[in-house]
Chains A and B, each alone.
Chain A
Amino acid sequence: MSSVPGLQADCEELLGAFQEADTVRFERLAELWRERRFHTIFYGRIRALERNKLTKKTLELAQQYFLPPYAFQIRVGALYLLYGLYSTQLCQPKQKIRIALKDWPEIQKFQQDLIDSQHYDAAYIFRTLRLARAFHFTAMPKLLNYRTKKKIQENELKEEFKDPSNRVNSLITNDVLEELMNIHDHYQKMKCVISADKSQPDKALSLIKDEFVITLKDITLEHQEWQQNRMKLFLNAKETDEISNKKEEGALLESEGSERASALARIKYRSYSAVVEASKSRRHRQVKLESAESGSNYGKSPSRSKKNSRRLQPAGRRDAVEIKGEMQVAKETVTRHIGMPIITEEENPDEE
């Protein structure tokens, strides 16, 4: 189904305002709703058949925000939004909200969370929707239809609404680190045993850095810190400096060391949040900064990141920096996948 034009922008605007209000109270969303007179979204002399279709699409769009991976506040906002849209729709009998079977356990967990954290207004609203029989329990979340799409629309989910997905942390957990430490110790002992000097492993056998486990732990901590900082500052980011600044800052990067972690994070943040301001002739193709979550965008558009890295190489060459080669591979992988801003347009205007 092709989407309703403008609807996603309106919903995101409302949810964004709700997120900024930093509360989960229904009254707050009701105020924002009334400000925008959101119920008029169904107005406009639409005939019955199209009205049904339109309402279905609206509810489907709003329902997407109700499920993970969105942040808790956004999900509560989506619940209120669904309630509002369901109640103010003009269809008779009312169009229902489709929830897939696989999502129900999560929703029930969500409801339990709401009750536990004493957000009784949200829990009450959910219960009202259930009692009003507002849900269709379906096998698949999206109703299929069979029109060949003129262009495949990719639904760009708004990044700020998502909970920062911390793939690095879920991979390098405490257990993993502990085990790594154990194996490392065991390995060192093994080396000692087989070498001539029983207290120390042979120089010829030192193939790895001795403190790599500690370094790994530090890197993950630093990454987490950096991500949190960046999320906060992302909302206030401005587009000012040239992209070439990024390269100059990059030249300051030296080999890893946990002492420089904070300095590193600061520099990286500054350089990667800078975006070139397009010249007047290319103003319509202004580059937008989008946060690149570690896992979320990577899986979706690997071709983009590759294109991006390819593009950056010539820019780097221009400023004659070989920093990429100097950086340790592990570090580089981390920064590549996380720090790279995904430039949304196809061409880098700077390169022309």
Chain B
Amino acid sequence: SVETLMSSDKEDDPDVIPEDSSLQTLRIRKKALERREETIIVDRACRQETLAYEMESHAIGKRPDNPTDLVEEGELLLTLNIFYPVIFQKHKDHKPYQTVLVLGSQKLTELRDSISCVSDLQIGGEFSSQPDQAPEHISKDLYKSAFFYFEGIFYNDKRYPECRDLSRTIIEWSESHDRGYGNLQSVKMEDYRFNDLFLKIGFPYLFCHQGDCEHIIIITDIRLIHHDDCLDRNLYPLLIKKHWLCTRKCFVCKMYTARWVTNNDSLAPEDPCFFCDVCFRMLHYDAEGNKLGEFLAYPYVDPGIFN
């Protein structure tokens, strides 16, 4: 039994569907291809597709330089879908998500650090009077608390002294009356690895940070690590799929991504209105830096910033 029995004898071009094929699959595919060619709807891979393919396959087969970073045999690989908290109408059928691969022996805190959410980068405060002094502190540094919720247990991030137990409110609420929830517990996130957890595949779990920014997490797959996977421990948690969000552009130049948003702006045509940095200053401040007109301005971080 030799493999060559399977391959064709003559050199076939995999791009060309053979004319006389008896396979239904090919007949259907051929029709679709012909239709595509007639209308030239999809001619080449668009940049989103290239990006998606790159993300999926960039880490395949990678090996670490340092042998201690090698992932061992028998390690589990989990595939998690982390959903974005944005709610747009067009997302009603399929909510956008990113897919992350984690190793079973990794701590929960490593996953928490790898989740990039736009709410972490927000800068709070109204800065119409002092646009140059927008502070450098992003919300990620100010509000460090976060928790995961798996199977009735809250895993709180307690690595820093300013982290609070966000889940306490929920636990108190569920214990105050008989609400039908079993014993909810609260433990420290940094003490647990994924191997220690009891998980259900396909069941929605929660990640909450910044007090009220909630992400649903669903585990789609658990499998053993394979020879062809990325075996560099430092690259995990590995992002393999990300939803592409269109960034909001400046209202004036329509070229640059918006960095400021204004409300109650007498100089702007709509409320709220988005501006890039340059256009914002040119419109709202004169040459000496005095505020013109009445408005409230906030620094804006677009969700598409991670593209």
Contacts and interface: CB of A to CB of B under 8 A. Distances in A.
A10 interface: yes
A39 B8 contact: yes
A6 B56 contact: no
Nearest to B224: A137
Given A49-B53, A140-B221, A40 B26 contact: yes
B94 A148 contact: yes
Interface string B25-40: 1111110010000000
A262 interface: no
Interface stretch (A28-36, A154-162, A301-309, A310-318): A28-36
Nearest to A38: B23
B183 interface: no
Interface stretch (A82-90, A238-246, A320-328, A332-340): A82-90
Contacts of A94: 228
A44 to B, nearest CB: 5
A87 B3 contact: yes
Contact of B223 (A9, A139, A147, A148): A139
A44 B15 contact: yes
A93 B228 contact: yes
A145 interface: yes
Contact of B26 (A41, A84, A98, A125): A41
A330 to B, nearest CB: 42
Nearest to A84: B6
Contacts of B222: 138-140
Contacts of B202: 144
B22 to A, nearest CB: 6
B1 A125 contact: yes
Contacts of A41: 23, 25-26
A40 B220 contact: no
Interface string B250-283: 0000000000000000000000000000000000
B211 interface: no
B224 A52 contact: no
A27 B1 CA distance: 7
Interface in A235-286: none
A79 to B, nearest CB: 12
Interface in A102-158: 121, 124-125, 133, 136-140, 143-148
A260 B30 CA distance: 57
A39 B24 contact: no
B23 A10 contact: yes
B6 A87 contact: yes
A148 B3 contact: no
A43 B17 contact: yes
A203 interface: no
Interface string A71-97: 000000000000010011010011010
Nearest to A91: B57
Contact of B201 (A43, A98, A144): A144
Contact of A36 (B23, B53, B81, B97): B23
B16 interface: yes
Interface string A1-14: 00011110110000
A42 interface: yes
Interface in B150-185: none
A146 B97 contact: yes
A180 B34 CA distance: 68
- Counting chain B CB atoms within 10 Å of each CB, which of A9, A48, A121, A133 scores highest? A48
Interface string B1-12: 101011110001
A90 B14 contact: yes
B21 interface: yes
A44 B26 contact: yes
Contact of A40 (B17, B56, B93): B17
A7 B25 contact: yes
B227 interface: yes
Contacts of B226: 96, 133, 136
A49 B56 contact: yes
A39 B18 contact: no
Nearest to A100: B223
Contact of B7 (A88, A93, A96, A136): A88
Contacts of A146: 81, 94-95, 97, 218
B88 to A, nearest CB: 16
Contacts of A38: 23
B115 interface: no
A125 B201 CA distance: 32
Contacts of A6: 23-29
B26 A133 contact: no
Given A30-B5, A37-B21, A44-B33, A143 B221 contact: yes
A124 B3 CA distance: 12
B47 to A, nearest CB: 12
B142 interface: no
Contact of A144 (B6, B29, B95, B221): B221
Given A52-B56, A146-B218, A148-B94, A121 B23 contact: no
Nearest to A90: B14
A139 B201 contact: yes
A43 B14 contact: yes
Given A10-B23, A140-B221, A146-B218, A39 B45 contact: no
8 contacts: A33-B6, A36-B22, A37-B8, A39-B6, A40-B21, A49-B52, A138-B221, A140-B222
